[in-house]
Amino acid sequence: MSGSTRDTPSSTGALPGGLPQPLLGVVDRFASHLTAERNRSEHTVRAYAGDVVSMLDHGVRMGARTLGEIDLVVLRSWLARLRSAGASRATLARRSAAVRTFAAWAQREGLIEVNVAQRLASPRPHRVLPATLRPDQAATLLASSADAGEPLALRDRLVLELLYATGVRIGELCGLDLLDIDQERRLIRVLGKGAKERSVPYGLPAQHALDHWLRHGRPALARSHSGAALLLGAKGGRLQATVARRAVTTRAARAGVPPVSPHGLRHSAATHLLEGGADLRSVQELLGHASLSSTQIYTQVSVERLHSAHRQAHPRA
């Protein structure tokens, strides 16, 4: 066993462990499955593969020689070691999910007979309510960029308007091409997680910002290498998410509103939609959530605001 181990990274890019080559090969196959068949992002594949390598390495240290010798005792011991090392509840939950996904795949592939990971319990992560802007604060932020005239300022104004109007993720926004915009119906076509496509409407303020950008901003920045990208950087390439995030935080600071990120604007959009009477299923579809439970957290934000207003204003609160 010890003679067959080596500390070389697998092609998954996961952290290397002292694993036998056959186990490293299994991790590679699992990573390929996540990429090719489940269409997971590179970040997700690396995270899941790293979690599986960590678990298998722990199993090898406990004497497991094959995948079939990884039992529930090994899995629980692995989680206990991570918890003792200071892993958060959210991290433990994510790592447990990765191992359950791996074990289910391994059973389907005939690599193991029994999926013991089905019985692996993991702590429920604390659900932290997302920070959101109030509607008046969002209005202040957007109004502060309305007089933008320079190309980059016009772009940043459009970034703010579309993030708040549609609730899209920053990566989805930066990935938009010109043909993804249906100006007649005021819709954007978004390629979300898992390469799932959805159409999201936007309103007149965002349309005005889009008009100004397409007429005066984008032509000034476009270069031969700009391609079909809707949003451009200072050198004409597709706008990078890091630059867009910096633009949002900078604009929020200048507007004098609480610190907010692109994801905070997404949270704000969802919360304000629900507070305005939108049904949960519609908001789920707009945000591109696979599960309704992911959207339900925004109802908690609204309820907390209600409690806060009651405590501050009601004479018998």
> What is d(CA 283, CA 200) in angstroms, rounded to the nearest whole number?
10
Task: Name the pTM for this structure.
Answer: 0.60
Torsion of CA 272, 275, 278, 284, to 10 degrees: 60
Q: Which CATH architecture has domain 135-313?
A: Orthogonal Bundle (1.10)
pLDDT band at 6 (very low <50, low <70, confident <90, very high): very low
All CATH 1.10.443.10 domain ranges in the chain, comma separated? 135-313
Quick: pLDDT tens for 282-301.
888 888 776 666 667 766 66
**pLDDT exceeds cutoff 60 at 41:** yes
Q: 171: which strand partners?
A: none
| Burial classification of residue 204, based on how many CB atoms lie within 10 Å of its CB (0-12 exposed, 13-18 middle, 19 or more buried) | exposed
Q: Dihedral sign, CA of 93, 96, 100, 101?
A: positive
Catalytic residue among 169, 212, 238, 267: 169
**pLDDT exceeds cutoff 80 at 208:** yes
For residue 106, the model assigns a pLDDT of: 93
Higher per-residue confidence, 181 vs 146: 181
> Of the given ranges (244-248, 265-269, 297-301), which has the lowest mean pLDDT?
297-301
Catalytic residue among 266, 267, 281, 305: 266
Catalytic residue among 193, 216, 245, 305: 193
> What is d(CA 218, CA 96) in angstroms, rounded to the nearest whole number?
46
**Over residues 204-232, mean pLDDT:** 95
For residue 12, the model assigns a pLDDT of: 37
For residue 221, the model assigns a pLDDT of: 96
**pLDDT exceeds cutoff 70 at 267:** yes
pLDDT band at 136 (very low <50, low <70, confident <90, very high): very high
Average pLDDT in the chain: 84
> In the annotation, is 314 catalytic?
no
Catalytic residue among 100, 216, 263, 305: 263
Which are the contacts of 256, defined by CB distance < 8 A and separation ≥ 6? 140
C-alpha 78: how far from chain center: 27
* 3-class state of residue 149 by DSSP: coil
74: alpha, beta or left? (left if phi > 0; alpha if psi -120 to 50): alpha
For residue 314, the model assigns a pLDDT of: 54
Which tokens in the block code for residue 140?
């202040």
> In the annotation, is 263 catalytic?
yes
**Could you confirm whether domain 2-119 is CATH 1.10.1380.10?**
no
pLDDT band at 18 (very low <50, low <70, confident <90, very high): low
Place of tokens 């690599």: 111
**pLDDT exceeds cutoff 70 at 5:** no
Strand order in the sheet with 197-201: 181-182, 187-191, 197-201
| Burial classification of residue 129, based on how many CB atoms lie within 10 Å of its CB (0-12 exposed, 13-18 middle, 19 or more buried) | middle
Higher per-residue confidence, 315 vs 271: 271
Higher per-residue confidence, 239 vs 3: 239
**Over residues 180-188, mean pLDDT:** 92
**pLDDT exceeds cutoff 50 at 125:** yes
Which are the contacts of 34, defined by CB distance < 8 A and separation ≥ 6? 40, 44, 45, 48, 49
**pLDDT exceeds cutoff 70 at 127:** no
**pLDDT exceeds cutoff 80 at 66:** yes
> Of the given ranges (54-58, 267-271, 280-284), which has the lowest mean pLDDT?
280-284
Q: How many helices (H) and strands (E) does the chain have?
A: 13, 5
**pLDDT exceeds cutoff 70 at 63:** yes
All CATH 1.10.150.130 domain ranges in the chain, comma separated? 2-119
**pLDDT exceeds cutoff 80 at 100:** yes
Q: What percent of the chain has pLDDT over 70?
A: 81
Higher per-residue confidence, 73 vs 5: 73
> In the annotation, is 193 catalytic?
yes
Higher per-residue confidence, 73 vs 129: 73
- Read off the DSSP letter of residue 238: B
